[in-house]
């Protein structure tokens, strides 16, 4: 007989007090809601997720044993359109984190004004220790468990931390098998061969590069010669670093879970990517100095791009940050308590719900192309992404100037105003 084990969160109390991501989100939401004098009834509606699903996922492991994983999907708000948001596979996933990420997706889609609500999914697992077969069975079981929720008009997943095109292909296939016909638009971030969009893989990093360029231009500076430090070397960080370097920035630091690298004169990003591909991690790269992760964010630079996980910039290290501009490639990398410290230092922060919105923007393009059955060239995708990112930066900046607040509160205010407007128009169905 096979043994059945429950995978439990190894550190389930990791978000205590001021680091609970949902509380982080809500504390900014509250400031924006009071600036907007949000109707108290609507306030109550918008601070609650519409739907939260927890599923137990039995998976046959390669050893023949059965493991039971826990998965979540939260649909935060769907007033503006189908729920949209990625799925992450990580040991650190919690319901509060998924709920915060789903709320951020709602605000993010509203900031860039694409017709989606927000959702997020997560499975507590250690994907790096699982075989491709185990990951496939986990993904298919998760998809099947959520079959009543997913759909091109209801909830459309995408990649997030530790999920990729391969995982999206399994989701699309599982969903299509249940529906008895191929449904490409149920998921975005798919391989190009099966309805993916040109430019989607690079989109979040490209959006970050555009935001760095716009932020520097607003401060009367340029990307050319600006020193950049990038935390996280996954899909977002490595591509943002590559594009920033192509635009003339000097990437002086990069890091991943294995540690950081620093070279005052600039790293050759493509060379570091080649090293990481050969050695799995950036650590050990010979043409740079190693830096401990605790010291990495306070390295001297003009632009800091956190592109890893939540709560990296906190009240413990914010005062020591040297960058003039922060571009939040990750979701929630700055704890709410650090906002004020950064404001006092005059750091210009392009918040996550704007800075990393390039990914979901091209997800929107992918969904449109799938539904049309007509595909755009990479030039068209990039040009439309550029237009949306530049316009959204301007809208957030205008909102922050109007209310005399930082860019983060400007972005929340813009997003909540747009979501609230639709709620008012639709009215309440009771």
- Considering the complex, state which of residue 112 and residue 297 has its C-beta at the smaller distance from ligand GLU: 112
Give the C-alpha separation, 388 to 426, whole Å.
26
Report if residue 332 touches ligand GLU, rule: CB under 6 A. Answer: no
Give the C-alpha separation, 208 to 308, whole Å.
13
CB of 207 to ligand GLU, least distance (A): 10
Q: Which two tokens stand for residue 414?
A: 């813009």
Give the C-alpha separation, 312 to 418, whole Å.
29
- Considering the complex, state which of residue 67 and residue 352 has its C-beta at the smaller distance from ligand GLU: 352
Binding mask 32-51 for ligand GLU (x = CB under 6 A): --------------------
Give the C-alpha separation, 132 to 105, whole Å.
28
Q: Which two tokens stand for residue 381?
A: 């995708």
Per CB under 6 A, the list member of 363, 369, 392, 413 interacting with ligand GLU is: 363
- Considering the complex, state which of residue 230 and residue 288 has its C-beta at the smaller distance from ligand GLU: 230
CB of 310 to ligand GLU, least distance (A): 12
Q: Which stretch binds ligand GLU (CB under 6 A): 79-87, 205-213, 258-266, 310-318?
A: 79-87
What's the half-sphere exposure (Cβ side, CA atoms, 13 Å) at 319? Answer: 2
Per CB under 6 A, the list member of 86, 253, 333, 410 interacting with ligand GLU is: 86
Contacts of 407 (CB under 8 A, 6+ apart): 348, 349, 350, 351, 354, 396, 397, 400
Tell me, yes or no, if 120 is annotated catalytic.
yes
CB of 354 to ligand GLU, least distance (A): 11
- Considering the complex, state which of residue 188 and residue 392 has its C-beta at the smaller distance from ligand GLU: 188
Residue in the shown chain whose Cβ atom is closest to ligand GLU = 86
Q: Which two tokens stand for residue 349?
A: 């922060």
Tell how far CA 140 is from the center of its chain.
23
Identify residues 147-176 at the interface with ligand GLU (CB under 6 A).
Answer: 158, 160
Per CB under 6 A, the list member of 81, 85, 199, 205 interacting with ligand GLU is: 85
What's the half-sphere exposure (Cβ side, CA atoms, 13 Å) at 35? Answer: 23
The one catalytic residue in 108, 120, 190, 227 is 120
CB of 88 to ligand GLU, least distance (A): 8
Per CB under 6 A, the list member of 81, 127, 232, 359 interacting with ligand GLU is: 359
Give the C-alpha separation, 209 to 241, whole Å.
8
| CA neighbor of 218 nearest in space, from 112, 412, 354, 311 | 354
CB of 316 to ligand GLU, least distance (A): 25
153-171 burial: b if 16+ Cβ within 10 Å, else e: ebbbbbbbbbbbbebbbbb
Per CB under 6 A, the list member of 197, 238, 298, 356 interacting with ligand GLU is: 356
| CA neighbor of 411 nearest in space, from 330, 342, 345, 357 | 357
User: Are the beta carbons of 410 and 403 closer than 8 angstroms?
Assistant: yes
Give the C-alpha separation, 215 to 36, whole Å.
25
Identify residues 371-430 at the interface with ligand GLU (CB under 6 A).
Answer: none
- Considering the complex, state which of residue 347 and residue 360 has its C-beta at the smaller distance from ligand GLU: 360
Per CB under 6 A, the list member of 94, 139, 331, 406 interacting with ligand GLU is: 331
Give the C-alpha separation, 368 to 360, whole Å.
12
Binding mask 277-316 for ligand GLU (x = CB under 6 A): ----------------------------------------
- Considering the complex, state which of residue 188 and residue 311 has its C-beta at the smaller distance from ligand GLU: 188
Tell how far CA 240 is from the center of its chain.
13
Q: Which stretch binds ligand GLU (CB under 6 A): 82-90, 124-132, 227-235, 240-248?
A: 82-90
CB of 118 to ligand GLU, least distance (A): 9
CB of 329 to ligand GLU, least distance (A): 10
Q: Is 141 helix (H, G, I), strand (E, B) or coil?
A: helix
Contacts of 268 (CB under 8 A, 6+ apart): 287
Give the C-alpha separation, 202 to 382, whole Å.
10
| # residues near ligand GLU by CB under 6 A | 11
The residues that are catalytic are 120
Applying CB under 6 A, the residues found at the interface with ligand GLU are 84-86, 158, 160, 188, 331, 356, 359-360, 363
């Amino acid at each position: 007989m096979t043994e059945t084990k429950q995978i439990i969160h190894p550190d389930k109390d990791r978000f205590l007090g001021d680091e609970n991501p949902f509380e982080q989100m809500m504390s900014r939401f509250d400031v924006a809601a009071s600036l907007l004098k949000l109707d108290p009834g609507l306030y109550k509606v918008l601070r609650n997720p519409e739907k939260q699903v927890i599923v137990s996922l039995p998976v046959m492991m390669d050893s023949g044993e059965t493991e039971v994983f826990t998965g979540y999907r939260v649909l935060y708000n769907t007033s503006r359109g189908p729920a949209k948001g990625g799925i992450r596979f990580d040991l650190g996933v919690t319901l509060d984190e998924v709920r915060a990420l789903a709320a951020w997706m709602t605000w993010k889609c509203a900031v860039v004004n694409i017709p989606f609500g927000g959702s997020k999914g997560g499975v507590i697992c250690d994907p790096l220790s699982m075989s491709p077969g185990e990951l496939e069975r986990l993904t298919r079981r998760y998809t099947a468990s959520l079959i009543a929720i997913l759909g091109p008009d209801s909830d459309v997943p995408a990649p997030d931390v530790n999920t990729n095109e391969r995982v999206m292909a399994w989701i699309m296939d599982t969903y299509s098998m249940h529906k008895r016909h191929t449904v490409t638009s149920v998921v975005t971030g798919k391989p190009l061969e099966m309805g993916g969009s040109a430019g989607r893989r690079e989109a979040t990093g490209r959006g970050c590069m555009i935001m760095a360029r716009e932020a520097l231009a607003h401060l009367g500076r340029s990307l050319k010669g600006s020193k950049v430090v990038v935390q996280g070397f996954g899909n977002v960080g490595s591509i943002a670093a590559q594009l920033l370097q192509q635009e003339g920035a000097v990437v002086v630091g990069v890091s991943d879970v294995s540690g950081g690298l620093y070279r005052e004169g600039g790293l050759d990003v493509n060379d570091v990517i080649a090293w990481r591909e050969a050695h799995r991690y950036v650590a050990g790269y010979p043409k740079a100095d190693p830096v401990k992760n605790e010291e990495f964010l306070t390295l001297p630079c003009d632009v800091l791009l956190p592109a890893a996980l939540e709560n990296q910039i906190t009240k413990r290290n914010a005062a020591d940050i040297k960058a003039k501009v922060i571009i939040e490639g990750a979701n929630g990398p700055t704890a709410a308590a650090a906002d004020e410290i950064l404001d006092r230092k005059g750091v210009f922060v392009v918040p996550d719900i704007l800075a990393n919105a390039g990914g979901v923007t091209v997800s929107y393009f992918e969904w449109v192309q799938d539904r049309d059955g007509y595909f755009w060239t990479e030039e068209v995708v990039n040009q439309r992404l550029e237009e949306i990112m530049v316009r959204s930066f301007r809208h957030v900046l205008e909102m922050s100037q109007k209310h005399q607040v930082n860019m983060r509160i400007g972005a929340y205010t813009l997003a909540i105003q747009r979501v609230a407007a639709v709620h008012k128009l639709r009215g309440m169905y009771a």
